[in-house]
């Protein structure tokens, strides 16, 4: 088993059957070795820096109906909200004063925010904070829409593929197709965005062969960012009584992803911090190098409830940042407030 980790560390790839073997047979000593190698790779590529992104959850309206998600259209009990343009700009101002140089605008697929409105938001933010990067994460759109967003100043786009297993994807996403998700990711790459994708860990029925599909997909797409996190049940979804994903599985997969894609920007996600009080720190030690503190107004935080038990729903942005920074430092890393572009983008922006 240690041989497989060494091979992955040296070659940054493994054959499908080797990945299956690694995930199937891994135990604590090999996992610890894997984590050490992932950490060494991250130190070699990015040093001990942890890039900070300010997350603004600007709408929880969504016309999609993902089975696992608390803001799905089929949840009549979700308390819906939208931030106005002024509220979004205010969150950026607070973030900018705290030193953030990346704003991540995330939301459900909210038809109120048509292309024109999104373009206006992007232009206003870029006008006021030209030195900052903007990441959009608003789901599946046409290539034309993505191009408009890019032209208006969006630098990056996050669209998790959620699972590369076709049968699981279809079970989790009625009315959506994996092919369209992948087409969107290809369009985003071709347009010139720094592209993030990723997947959920611990969905009901998800097998280690499914994770291997995800890993192979990542190797083929070569995204600039990969967000993975545990599935966590939400009380008002059809999956409320299912078991959530495990910390160990997420950590193992984070470490493997760091070795498969050594230059990738890899968040230690809020969901990871929500299932374990030191989940994000464990993620950082296994190769993750991005953290996304929440800049949304506190009135919106709890309403952006994708899953139960989400952390940091009550803190003000400044408190949130200080608390996370302390955790990052105590874990032995250095907070970096720059734009934190992918290595291939350095010097280009």
Give the nearer residue to ligand SAM in terms of CB position, either 269 or 289.
Answer: 269
Query: What is the nearest approach in angstroms of ligand SAM to the Cβ of residue 55?
Result: 11
Strand ranges in the chain using DSSP code E only, listed in sequence order: 49-52, 54-59, 102-107, 133-137, 156-158, 194-197, 200-201, 225-226, 229-230, 290-291, 334-336
Query: What is the nearest approach in angstroms of ligand SAM to the Cβ of residue 144?
Result: 19
Separation between Cα atoms, residue 28 and residue 35, nearest integer Å: 10
Give the nearer residue to ligand SAM in terms of CB position, either 5 or 232.
Answer: 232
Residues in the site for ligand SAM, rule: CB under 6 A? 68-69, 71, 106, 108-109, 137-139, 159-160, 162, 200, 229, 231-232, 234, 271, 306-307
Separation between Cα atoms, residue 20 and residue 207, nearest integer Å: 10
Separation between Cα atoms, residue 56 and residue 278, nearest integer Å: 23
Report how far apart, in Å, the C-alpha atoms of 151 and of each of 54, 60, 115, 193 are: 22, 25, 12, 10
Query: How many other CB atoms are found less than 10 A from the CB of residue 349?
Result: 10
- HSE-up (13 A, CA, CB side) for residue 38: 28
Query: What is the nearest approach in angstroms of ligand SAM to the Cβ of residue 210?
Result: 15
Separation between Cα atoms, residue 118 and residue 138, nearest integer Å: 10
Give the nearer residue to ligand SAM in terms of CB position, either 61 or 345.
Answer: 61
Give the nearer residue to ligand SAM in terms of CB position, either 8 or 78.
Answer: 78
137 belongs to an annotated ligand binding site:
yes
69 belongs to an annotated ligand binding site:
yes
Give the nearer residue to ligand SAM in terms of CB position, either 34 or 290.
Answer: 290
Query: What is the nearest approach in angstroms of ligand SAM to the Cβ of residue 33?
Result: 28
Give the nearer residue to ligand SAM in terms of CB position, either 22 or 158.
Answer: 158
181 belongs to an annotated ligand binding site:
yes
Query: What is the nearest approach in angstroms of ligand SAM to the Cβ of residue 30?
Result: 27
Rg of the chain in Å (alpha carbons): 19
162 belongs to an annotated ligand binding site:
yes
Query: What is the nearest approach in angstroms of ligand SAM to the Cβ of residue 338?
Result: 25
92 touches 129 (CB < 8 A): yes
Query: How many other CB atoms are found less than 10 A from the CB of residue 147?
Result: 17
Q: How far is C-alpha 63 from the chain's CA centre?
A: 21
**Residue positions forming the annotated binding site for [4Fe-4S] cluster:** 62, 66, 69
**Residue positions forming the annotated binding site for S-adenosyl-L-methionine:** 162, 181
**Residue positions forming the annotated binding site:** 62, 66, 69, 137, 162, 181
């Amino acid at each position: 088993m240690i041989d497989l980790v060494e091979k992955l560390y040296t070659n940054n790839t493994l054959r499908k059957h080797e990945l299956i073997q690694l995930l199937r047979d891994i135990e604590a000593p090999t996992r610890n070795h894997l984590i050490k190698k992932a950490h060494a790779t991250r130190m070699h590529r990015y040093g001990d820096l942890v890039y900070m992104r300010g997350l603004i959850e600007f709408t929880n309206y969504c016309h999609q109906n993902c089975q696992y998600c608390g803001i799905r259209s089929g949840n009549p009990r979700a308390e819906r909200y939208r931030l106005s343009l002024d509220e979004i700009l205010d969150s950026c101002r607070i973030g900018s004063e705290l030193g953030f140089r990346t704003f991540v605008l995330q939301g459900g697929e909210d038809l109120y925010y048509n292309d024109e409105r999104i373009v206006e938001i992007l232009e206003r933010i870029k006008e006021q904070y030209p030195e900052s990067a903007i990441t959009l994460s608003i789901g599946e759109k046409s290539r034309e829409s993505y191009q408009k967003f890019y032209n208006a100043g969006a630098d990056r786009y996050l669209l998790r593929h959620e699972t590369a297993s076709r049968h699981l994807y279809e079970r989790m996403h009625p009315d959506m197709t994996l092919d369209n998700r992948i087409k969107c990711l290809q369009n985003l790459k071709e347009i010139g965005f720094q592209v993030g994708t990723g997947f959920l860990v611990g969905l009901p029925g998800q097998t280690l062969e499914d994770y291997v599909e995800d890993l192979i997909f990542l190797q083929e797409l070569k995204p600039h960012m990969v967000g993975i996190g545990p599935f966590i049940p939400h009380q008002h979804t059809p999956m409320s009584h299912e078991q959530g994903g495990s910390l160990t599985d997420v950590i193992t997969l984070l470490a493997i992803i760091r070795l498969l894609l050594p230059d990738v920007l890899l968040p230690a996600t809020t969901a990871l911090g929500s299932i374990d009080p030191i989940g994000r720190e464990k993620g950082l030690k296994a190769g993750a190098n991005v953290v996304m503190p929440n800049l949304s107004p506190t009135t919106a935080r709890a309403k952006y409830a994708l899953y139960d038990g989400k952390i940091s729903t009550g803190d003000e942005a400044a408190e949130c940042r200080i608390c996370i920074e302390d955790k990052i430092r105590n874990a032995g890393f250095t907070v970096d407030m720059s734009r934190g572009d992918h290595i291939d983008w350095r010097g280009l922006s």
